[in-house]
A and B are shown apart, each in its own frame.
Chain A
Amino acid sequence: AQSVTQLDSHVSVSEGTPVLLRCNYSSSYSPSLFWYVQHPNKGLQLLLKYTSAATLVKGINGFEAEFKKSETSFHLTKPSAHMSDAAEYFCVVITGNQFYFGTGTSLTVIP
């Protein structure tokens, strides 16, 4: 079965501290992996994507993610959280012609 699991439904960090949002996937094929961000009552905005090039992918707003095939993970990180990073984050796995959304991680940034 192909699927994606976001390991934390809620993450809270203090402003200026690192952010780690975890995503694991299962796939029989070489996957494409995406992270999207959604602010309240807004659509989803692409943060970054992995499509079998460099395993460390840099995205917008200082976010990056590393594809680790041996761990089937694609965790999203940022060195220093900003108040504007508070939002919902979705990991998306695409394998073959099927796409799968994670259930989302809500990030709270504490001033």
Chain B
Amino acid sequence: DGGITQSPKYLFRKEGQNVTLSCEQNLNHDAMYWYRQDPGQGLRLIYYSQIVNDFQKGDIAEGYSVSREKKESFPLTVTSAQKNPTAFYLCASSSIPGARDTQYFGPGTRLTVL
């Protein structure tokens, strides 16, 4: 089955720790995206990548970092600099870089900072 996988589904971390969220796709898509979802706020773009070894900041990149060493993988690191990291994180991909193509979403990772 083609699709996007995110792991883990639930993640807990202590304050001051970095944590990495996994996102893998086997759709052969060039573009990948990370969003953060908070109640009542819709989705906000953290980072996106249109091609391997390239990525761009979204609207709320502070306190986050990404890498795109392989086409199928786009991990997100939530650093200790992120002031309010508890949220639901969604990864997405699209076949065509740029925003016009349909984005396909993974199942999400819920991060809770204790």
A binds B: yes
Binding site for B on A (CB under 8 A): 9, 32, 34, 36, 41-46, 49, 51, 90, 94, 96-99, 101-104
* Contact call B102/A34, Cβ cutoff below 8 A: yes
Given known A-B contacts A41-B110, A42-B107, A101 and B102 have beta carbons under 8 A apart:
no
Q: How far is the CA of A49 from the CA of B9 in the complex (A)?
A: 28
Residues in chain B near residue A90, CB distance under 8 A: 42-43
* Closest Cβ neighbor of B50 among chain A residues: A97
Given contacts A94-B99, A97-B98, A97-B99, contact A46 B104 (CB under 8 A): yes
Main secondary structure on A side of the interface with B: strand
Partner of B42, one of A32, A49, A96, A101: A101
Q: How far is the CB of B45 from chain A (nearest CB, A)?
A: 8
Whether A43 lies near B105 (C-beta < 8 A) is yes
Residue in B closest to A102 when the chains form the complex, CB atoms: B42
Query: How many B residues, CB 8 Å from partner?
Result: 24
Binding site for A on B (CB under 8 A): 4, 6, 9, 35, 40-45, 88, 90, 92, 98-100, 102-108, 110
Contact A43 B106 (CB under 8 A): yes
Q: Are A42 and B108 in contact (CB under 8 A)?
A: yes
Q: Are B105 and A98 in contact (CB under 8 A)?
A: no
Q: Which chain B positions have C-beta within 8 A of A98? A: 99
Known contacts A43-B106, A43-B108; A94/B41 CB under 8 A = no
Contacts of B41 in A (CB 8 A): 103
A-B contact pairs, 18 of them (CB 8 A): A32-B100, A34-B102, A41-B88, A42-B107, A43-B105, A44-B90, A44-B92, A49-B102, A90-B42, A94-B100, A98-B99, A99-B45, A99-B99, A101-B35, A101-B44, A103-B40, A103-B41, A104-B42
Shortest Cβ gap from A32 to chain B (Å): 6
A101 engages B43 (CB within 8 Å): yes
Contact A44 B105 (CB under 8 A): yes
Once the chains bind, are B40 and A9 in contact (CB under 8 Å)? Answer: yes
Contacts of B102 in A (CB 8 A): 34, 46, 49
